[in-house]
Amino acid sequence: MTDAVGSIDKPDAEDEAPESKKTRKGGKRGKKGPLGRLALFYRQIVAELRKVVWPTRNQLTTYTSVVIAFVVVMIGLVTVIDFGFARVIKYVFG
- Amino acid identity of residue 77, one-letter, is L
Diameter of the chain measured on Cα atoms: 83
pTM above 0.85, yes or no: no
Q: How many helices (H) and strands (E) does the chain have?
A: 2, 0
Name the β-bridge partners of 7: 2
pLDDT tens-digit readout, 28-74: 555 678 899 999 999 999 999 999 999 999 999 999 999 999 999 99
- The mean pLDDT of the chain is 83
